[in-house]
Chains A and B, each alone.
Chain A
Amino acid sequence: MIHWQVIIPLFVFLIIIFMIGFWANKQVRTSNSFLQEYFLGGREMGGFLLAMTMMATYGSASSFIGGPGVSYSLGLGWVLLAMAQLPAGYFVLMILGKKFAIISRKYEAITLIDFLKKRYNSNVVIFISALSIIVFLFASMTAQWVGGARLIESLTGLNYTVALFIFAVTVLIYVIIGGFRAVALTDALQGTIMIIGTIILLIGTIIAGGGIDNIMSSLLNENPKMLSPFGSDDSLTPLYVSTFWILIGLGVIGLPQIAVRAMSYKDSKSLHRAIIIGTFGIGTIMFGMHLIGVLARPVIPGIEIADTVMPTLTLEVLPPVLAGIVLAAPMAAIMSTVNALLMLVSSTVVKDIYLNFINPKATDKQIKKRSFWVTTIIGLAVVLFALNPPEFLIWLNLFAFGGLESAFLWSVVFGLYWKKANKYGSIASMVVGLVLYIAIDRLSPHIFGMHTVTLPIFISLITFVIVSLATQQKSGLNKTNL
């Protein structure tokens, strides 16, 4: 079944995104510093753009599709957990903030790895970082890609392959030709759609459910635990929920796709404005979408597949054109995550591997050509994998988020704020963080009732400090300029 009134707004949305890509391409062609322009948008982002690109990169399929589905079955406790994401709006920018901006300009760093390379002066650090970025983010890109195609498939009635093709062509073209600037500008549009879509759907759901009082009393009748902070099945213990603050709030500093944005803005005013707008945006989306999942329960009872809660609800409670706008929101969330990942993996290959290890003397023209090709090839490879996603990619994606945080968090934070941090500490904490994360995930994911990420983060912290202190004499010669 094809819903034309829903498809037309989506189609308009795709056209606008295309146009932004072509406009950004002009900037890329006229810029005199290709690398800085293509991978960082010339460090010109203002406050609104920075806030939107942070928010849109952070908010993904799980905020719009997966999350509301879980709220639907667990109740208000899951909304409480989702609110642990609020610090992602301000904490990340306050910690990385000005220091990262100043130092990355001083080091002329274009990628997160550039920064680590100049700070720690170690090929091993570059190698581990590049490898984990490429492996984990390639996997999560594929997963988001599959999600995007499934969404188009369910909304339009087209088959999976055609849906994947539409999604891939749109994203690839504007990212390849427009670079970071196109990504940031489309993120601003996508972020705005995410916020507006959330508010429309929240209001529509409350009206359809006959007001908050009415909805709450139906939930109370069905299962009083839906209203408790512990979840409908008592599975959400305070300790478990609290450890999510590390995974989805504080640890976000260690995500390369987020960190790189903290070096791409123009001035401190942009940063200040972005903190306020970003916190408001993330707060609205995370609160709104997850609450919508709970409120949906009395409105559309008996949904079996969690991922269909949000699309079904939208088509049920909103008139068709509004539904089209709201359903563009998850699409926007997926696209804005995928485009950031594609850009990041491509910059890792070009800047951190090609220019570091293969051809340090590449000319501007060569770099330009390589950048376009690398982005294209990675994009096409993702499409190929998304056609028939192999088991190991799905598996890798499951711990991409926590794995990257365990690997990078302390190397970034100590690299910025601790003079004694050195390459031995960084390498040790990366290895310990990654290995421990994967091991705990495999063996006992809810160890001591905490989220998987908790122990690796703490132990890699201790490792970093001890190893750095123990090797002070060894590294005493190359003082950093911190």
Chain B
Amino acid sequence: MEKNLNDSRFKIANREALIGIGLVIINFAIWFGFAYGLGSGDPTEYDYVMGFPAWFFYSCIAGTIFMIILIWVTIRVFFKEVSFDDEEEQK
């Protein structure tokens, strides 16, 4: 009985760890892609968004805000609540 409980809890934990890895990969791709995709040219010819160079705006500002929203949605949708205690569930 306890073993089954553990197994299902660990399955959830493993899945959530994989989601964490997925999120980091997305985070890295946005960060790297915008920074070096838009920022590799001549700095005197940069485009600007809200006063910042476009690469910086998309990579560091918009990318970060996007990640926080994505993490929030992911937790809402995919993360499950599990109990941590074996015996003390009633407490």
Q: Are A90 and B12 in contact (CB under 8 A)?
A: no
Q: Could you write out 27 A-B pairs with CB less than 8 Å apart?
A: A76-B53, A76-B56, A80-B35, A80-B59, A80-B60, A83-B60, A90-B23, A94-B16, A94-B17, A95-B21, A98-B16, A99-B13, A106-B86, A212-B51, A216-B51, A216-B53, A229-B55, A242-B32, A250-B24, A268-B79, A269-B81, A272-B79, A275-B75, A276-B75, A283-B64, A287-B60, A287-B61
Contact with B along A375-410 (1 / 0, CB 8 A): 000000000000000000000000000000000000
Please give, as numbers and ranges, the residues of chain A lying within 8 Å of B79 by CB-CB distance: 268, 272
Complex formed: what's the CA distance from A83 to B50 in Å?
A: 19
- Taking CB atoms and an 8 Å cut-off, the chain A residues in 51-98 that contact chain B are 76, 79-80, 83-84, 86-87, 90-91, 94-95, 97-98
Please give, as numbers and ranges, the residues of chain B lying within 8 Å of A213 by CB-CB distance: 48, 51
Q: Are B32 and A238 in contact (CB under 8 A)?
A: yes
Please give, as numbers and ranges, the residues of chain B lying within 8 Å of A280 by CB-CB distance: 68
Number of interface residues of A (CB under 8 A): 48
A interface vs B, CB < 8 Å? 76, 79-80, 83-84, 86-87, 90-91, 94-95, 97-99, 101-102, 105-106, 211-213, 215-216, 220, 224-230, 238, 242, 245, 249-250, 267-269, 272, 275-276, 279-280, 283, 287, 417, 482
Q: How large is the interface on B (under 10, 10 to 19, 20 to 34, 35 or more residues)?
A: 35 or more
Contact status of A279 and B68, CB under 8 A, knowing A105-B84, A229-B36, A229-B55: yes
Contact status of A98 and B84, CB under 8 A, knowing A228-B39, A242-B32, A276-B68: yes
Contact status of A225 and B43, CB under 8 A, knowing A101-B84, A212-B50, A268-B84: yes
- Taking CB atoms and an 8 Å cut-off, the chain B residues in 58-88 that contact chain A are 59-61, 63-64, 67-68, 71-72, 75, 79-86
Q: Are A220 and B56 in contact (CB under 8 A)?
A: no
Q: Are B43 and A87 in contact (CB under 8 A)?
A: no
Query: Helix, strand, loop or mixed for chain A's interface?
Result: helix
Please give, as numbers and ranges, the residues of chain A lying within 8 Å of B17 by CB-CB distance: 94-95, 97, 99, 417
Q: Are B39 and A220 in contact (CB under 8 A)?
A: no
Please give, as numbers and ranges, the residues of chain A lying within 8 Å of B35 by CB-CB distance: 80, 229, 238
Q: Are A84 and B31 in contact (CB under 8 A)?
A: yes
Q: Are A79 and B60 in contact (CB under 8 A)?
A: yes
Contact with A along B7-21 (1 / 0, CB 8 A): 001101110110111
Q: Are B31 and A276 in contact (CB under 8 A)?
A: no
B23: contacting residue among A94, A268, A482, CB under 8 A: A94
Q: How far is the CB of A122 from chain B (nearest CB, A)?
A: 23
A98: contacting residue among B12, B64, B85, CB under 8 A: B12
Q: Are B9 and A102 in contact (CB under 8 A)?
A: yes
Q: How far is the CB of B50 from chain A (nearest CB, A)?
A: 7
Known pairs A90-B23, A102-B84; list 8 more (Cβ under 8 Å). Answer: A79-B56, A80-B31, A95-B17, A99-B13, A102-B82, A212-B51, A283-B64, A283-B68
Q: Are A238 and B36 in contact (CB under 8 A)?
A: yes
Q: Are B39 and A229 in contact (CB under 8 A)?
A: yes
B85: contacting residue among A94, A105, A220, CB under 8 A: A105
Complex formed: what's the CA distance from A400 to B83 in Å?
A: 35
Q: How far is the CB of B72 from chain A (nearest CB, A)?
A: 5
Asked whether B44 is an interface residue with its Cβ less than 8 Å from the other chain, the reply is yes
Q: Are A249 and B24 in contact (CB under 8 A)?
A: yes
Please give, as numbers and ranges, the residues of chain A lying within 8 Å of B80 by CB-CB distance: 268
Q: How far is the CB of A279 from chain B (nearest CB, A)?
A: 6
